[in-house]
Chains A and B, each alone.
Chain A
């Protein structure tokens, strides 16, 4: 009883705070200084059409590196927590029934298309909506489809881990190369900016975008895989 009253009280206080925030909210009519800087300098400094990707990969690239690291830690902890006992080889860890003909055939047809879409979204991150994180998630959903179609098949752990560490290393390496040959860590001027709006433009953004996509996709795939392959209690 007291518990419910306390919960109600807390939600009421929080709700009234939210209500005053909403009532007092004035939508801005001008960009603030940071956003205006990003908007006006996106073309000459970074050369990317998509300002969101430009901010994510160049101006705030270090934060993105940190975020990818957090994701890596999550994947590592999930596999540490779950994988005390891996299912023996050949046995289905998750114990799902074998999937039907439809799903197996559909997977074979869809998987290349999904991988293609993922690669497109990753490589065009500086031109259209999309980028590393979205493309990585699309790749991971392809891996998920594979797991669903054939639950007893073992994923190549080694491949996933190698892709993950290689892309992470290359990301950091590009950043360090920027320190040596350009203005600073993850500086975009390492490669020429190229023509505004072309696929191979905007300095290192497409490369970093693909690297982030591979890393994020590998991390999600390894989370899914450790959830799937743990042996039943």
Chain B
């Protein structure tokens, strides 16, 4: 039980740290990566909360596909900004 609690606290610290990085950084790319990291920590937290289905979905969708959607749009906007 205490081990579970410790893991939960670590995960929570990681999530809130990643959220702070995402909010405070200057570069948008770093913010997007930090949001993806937050999703990964969230999926670990879902495993700890005994929700493996949700953890799988979050890992595949939240941290994988969402990050790539952001990078597609970000790369597009960067290239057009240069023109």
Contacts and interface: CB of A to CB of B under 8 A. Distances in A.
Q: Do chains A and B touch in the complex (CB under 8 A)?
A: yes
Interface string B10-43: 0000000000000000000000000000000000
B79 A232 contact: yes
16 contacts: A53-B53, A121-B56, A129-B53, A130-B53, A133-B57, A133-B61, A137-B57, A137-B64, A138-B60, A140-B65, A144-B68, A223-B69, A224-B69, A232-B80, A232-B83, A233-B80
A62 interface: no
Contacts of A230: 76
Interface residues of B, number: 18
Interface in B46-83: 52-53, 55-57, 60-61, 64-65, 68-69, 72-73, 75-76, 79-80, 83
A96 B71 CA distance: 12
Interface of A: 50, 52-53, 94-96, 121, 129-131, 133-134, 137-138, 140-141, 144, 220, 223-224, 227-228, 230, 232-233
Given A52-B53, A131-B53, A232-B79, A137 B61 contact: yes
Given A53-B53, A227-B76, A232-B80, 17 more contacts: A50-B53, A95-B79, A129-B52, A130-B53, A133-B57, A134-B60, A138-B60, A140-B65, A141-B65, A144-B65, A220-B65, A223-B69, A227-B69, A227-B73, A228-B72, A232-B76, A233-B80
